[in-house]
Structure 1
Amino acid sequence: MIYGTPELEPADKAVLVEIEDMRRDLRHRLAEPHRWDGQLRRQLQARAIQGSNSIEGYRASVEDIESIMLGEEPLETSAAVTREIAGYQQALTYIRGLAGARAFRFDAGLLHALNFMIIGHHHDKSPGIVRPGGIYVRNSATGEVVYEGPDAEEVPGLIAELVDWLNDGDLEHPAYVRAAMAHFNLVAIHPWRDGNGRMSRALQTLVLGRDGITTPEFCSIEEWLGLGENTVDYYRVLRTVQQGSWSPHGETLPWLRFCLRAHHLQAQLVRRRLAEAGQVWMLLEEQVDADGLHTRCVSALYQVFVSRRLRRATYQADEALSQGQAARDLRELAARGWLTPYGETKGRFYAPGPRMERVKADFAGRAEPLRDPYRELLTA
């Protein structure tokens, strides 16, 4: 028996309505193509990868993750962490394809394959194979056991039950609810020796993607879960609901509310970024035109606006340029004060120059704080 879907209360239904409203708004905005969509989508995927891996202690900058996604060598990230990032990116890339696949059903083989993609470089951890014995989750600071998974003999049956539910269970519930419960059940079963947390978050993204909720890059809450205190809250609610061991009769509403709140806040954040992207792009177009530069240079400037740095190969790929064209554009932008070059040869990158720093500072003060959807509903 796996954990059941809780009864929704009026506050939860109200939050779901607001999430759906934002979903429709995002879908409408994404229906019309914009020059900045590709870069924004790549950055959001990089932030999702960063969030999910940072929870497990594998830390890399968004800029290095973008480099890894593009097949480039990262500038700061270690080889060990690069392998973790690349494995998770591979799984998310596959999930993005599965989200739109016509012929699709969940099965145990898919879950094992995704786990193999994520941790396949850890040959000593039996990637993609059900753990042979018990498993314990410990507090990394104290060493205390905070959760004990079900016995290994139960795991194949529990995975089979979860797969059946993924295909046919609780279909009357919104995808946000089903995705949250898929996440919780998989992380509670803890079927593998490693990668269980990342797999559970990836499964949540896949369930949402299969329901056509924009695209996985825009519906994932992994970025939100990886932000500072949110990670602490994430582990706290897992411990509260799991109560130390596999006990599928427990109350799961606190977990569901945590996920719905995260979706609401992440959707607010993405909507803000979409609006800002259009404003920034148009401003940069005006500046590039005033400087007499080619309009393609806006792509390079936008990248350093949303990121700490730009590499020549990234700009070259984004604009389908030759190496010489890309290098000339970047030198010109540096000469005009938009970019500041650092490093040499393969390690060379461009950071915001003084003119870009002024643009970034101007936009930094415009963002309104995000609204907690449950605060008003549960205190009214």
Structure 2
Amino acid sequence: MLYGTPALDPADKAVLAEIEDMRQDLRFRLAETHRWDGQLRRQLQARAIQGSNSIEGYRAGVEDIQSIMAGEEPLETSASVAKEIAGYQQALTYITLLSCAPAFRYDVGVLNALNFMMIGHNRHKTPGVIRPGSIFVRNGRSGEVVYEGPDVEVVPGLLDELVTWLNEGDLEAPSYVRAAMAHLNLVNIHPWRDGNGRMSRALQTLVLGRDRITTPEFASIEEWLGEQRTKVEYYDVLGTVGGRRWSPHGDTLPWVRFCLKAHHMQAQRVRRRLAEAGEIWTLLEEQVDADGLNTRCVSALYEAFVSRRLRRSRYQADEDLSQGQAARDLRDLATKGWLRPYGETKGRYYEAGPRMAEIKADFAGRAAPLRDPYREEAG
């Protein structure tokens, strides 16, 4: 028996309708091709990877995550954390492919394969194989056991039940609700020795991707979940709804509401970023033209705007340049005060110079706070 899908109240349906409206708006905006689309998608995927891994204590900057995604050595992240990031990115890449696969069914083999991709570098944790015994989740500070997974003897049956439900169960329920319930059930089954939280969040993204909820990097709520305040709420609601042991029941609406709120807040954020991207790109084009620089330099300036750090290799790949061309462009941008170089040779990178810092500061004060849809409904 799995945790049951709840019926939605009118307030939940109203929030769900707003989420759908925002997703449709995002879909129409993404249908148009823009110069900044690739960089924005990369940023969003990096932030999703950052959010999900930070929940587990694997912390890395967005810039280093983008380097890892490109197969480069990160500048600040440790080798052990870089392996966790690379594994998770590999699993998300596969999820992107599965989201579009014409022939697909959920099965335990797919779940085990995704777990192996995530933690395959930790062979001592038997990646991709059902845990051999009991498993306990402890409070990172106190060491107290906050959750005990179901007995290992029942785990294979629970996974089979979950897979059957993913393929056939509650198909009339909204996709966001089904994705939330997939997350809740997998994280409480806790079938592997490691990677259970990341797997559950990734499965939520896969369920949405299979239901054509835009694209995974725009549908994921992992960035939102990784923020400190949200992370505390995430653990609290999982503890409240899931209990301290495997105990399926029907009172799962608080969990679904938490996920709907997360989707709403993240959709607001992505929609804002999409709108800002066009405004920022246009402004930077005007500045590059006024300085007599090649138009392609806007790509480097946009990266410097949305990131803390820019590397020559990333700009070179984005604009399909030779190493010499990319280096000259970045040198010119530094000379004109747009960028500030640090380090030497392979470790060289660029941060915002005084002119870019001024533009970033101007935009930082414009954004209105995101709107909590449930707080507004309650009021």
TM over 0.5: yes
1:3-58: per-residue Cα shift (whole Å, max 9, x none)?
11011110110000000000000001000010000000000000000000000000
Equivalent-residue separation in structure 1 for 2:369 and 2:249 (angstroms): 38
Distance of 2:46 and 2:167 partners within structure 1: 29
Q: Is the 8 A contact 1:238 1:255 kept in 2?
A: yes
Q: Could you say which residue in structure 1 is the equivalent of 2:242?
A: 242
| Secondary structure at 1:298 match in 2 | helix
Return the alpha-carbon distance in structure 2 between the equivalents of residues 33 and 165 of structure 1: 37
1:308 aligns with 2:303: no
Q: Secondary structure at the match of 2:146?
A: strand
RMSD: 0.6
Cα distance in 1 between the residues matched to 2:314 and 2:9: 47
Q: How does 1:85-100 map to 2 (within 5 A)?
A: 85-100=85-100
Distance 1:239 1:227 in 2: 18
- The residue aligned with 1:102 is 102
Structure 2 counterpart of 1:343, which letter?
A: G
Look up the SS of the partner of 2:137 in the other structure: strand
Residue in structure 1 matched with residue 348 of structure 2 by the alignment: 348
Question: What is the SS of the residue equivalent to 1:308?
Answer: coil
Q: Alignment length, in residue pairs?
A: 379
Aligned partner of 1:71 in structure 2 is: 71
Q: How does 1:171-190 map to 2 (within 5 A)?
A: 171-190=171-190
Instruction: Describe how 1:114-153 pairs up with structure 2 within 5 A.
Output: 114-153=114-153
Aligned partner of residue 68 in structure 1, secondary structure? helix
- Deviation per residue, 1:285-315 (Å, 9 max, x gap): 0000011111000000000000011100000
Q: Matches of residues 221-232 of structure 1 in structure 2 within 5 Å?
A: 221-232=221-232
Offset, 1:228: 1.2
Name the CA distance, whole Å, in 2 between partners of 1:6 and 1:94: 30
Q: Give the whole-Å Cα distance in 2 for the aligned partners of 1:123 and 1:376.
A: 48
Matches within 5 A, 1:254-293: 254-293=254-293
AA aligned to 1:270 is V
**CA distance in 2 between partners of 1:166 and 1:304 (Å):** 42
Aligned to 1:18: 18
Instruction: Give the distance between the partners of 2:94 and 2:45, measured in 1 at CA.
Output: 13
1:311–1:348 contact (8 Å) kept in structure 2: yes
Tell me which amino acid in the other structure corresponds to 2:245: S
Partners in 1 of 2:56 and 2:240 — Cα distance?
A: 19
Rounded Cα–Cα distance in structure 1 between residues aligned with 2:353 and 2:185: 48
Q: Secondary structure at the match of 1:350?
A: strand
Determine helix, strand or coil for the equivalent of 2:350. Answer: strand
Structure 1 residue 275 displacement after superposition:
0.4
Distance in 2 between residues matched to 1:245 and 1:318, nearest whole Å: 49
Q: Which residue of 1 aligns with 2:294?
A: 294
Rounded to whole Å, the distance in 2 between the matches of 1:249 and 1:103 is 33
Aligned to 2:319: 319
Deviation of the 1:251 alpha carbon: 1.0
Q: Give the superposition deviation at 1:242.
A: 1.2
Residues 171-223 of structure 1: per-residue CA shift (max 9 Å, x gap): 10111000000000000000000000000000000000111111100010000
Partner SS for 2:74: coil
Preserved CA contact (<8 Å) 1:130 1:193: yes
2:329 maps to 329
Structure 1: gaps spanning 5 or more residues: none
User: Which SS does the other structure have where 1:137 is aligned?
Assistant: strand
Contact 1:6 1:253 in 2 (8 A): yes
Q: Is the 8 A contact 1:241 1:250 kept in 2?
A: no
Work out the CA distance in 2 between the residues paired with 1:159 and 1:5: 17
CA drift at 1:378: 2.7
User: Counterparts of 2:238 and 2:230 in 1: how far apart (Å)?
Assistant: 12
Identity %: 77
- 8 Å CA contact retained: 2:6, 2:250: no
2:340 partner SS: strand
Deviation at 1:250, TM superposition (A): 4.7
2:70 partner amino acid: L
Do the aligned residues in 2 keep the contact of 1:179 with 1:204 (CA within 8 Å)? yes
Task: Tell me the distance in 1 between the aligned counterparts of 2:254 and 2:104.
Answer: 31
Measured in 1, the distance between the counterparts of 2:249 and 2:300 equals 53
SS of 1:351's equivalent in the other structure is strand
SS at match of 2:370: coil
The AA in structure 2 aligned to 1:338 is: W
Name the CA distance, whole Å, in 2 between partners of 1:333 and 1:42: 23
What TM-score comes out, normalization by structure 1 length? 0.99
Q: Kindly provide the amino acid, as one letter, of the partner of residue 98 in structure 2.
A: L
Provide the residue aligned with 1:202 in structure 2. 202
Aligned partners of 1:242 and 1:250 also within 8 Å: no
Q: Return the letter of the residue paired with 1:64.
A: D
SS of 2:102 mapped into structure 1: coil
**Aligned equivalents of 2:300, 2:289: Cα separation in 1:** 14
Report the AA paired with residue 148 of structure 2: E
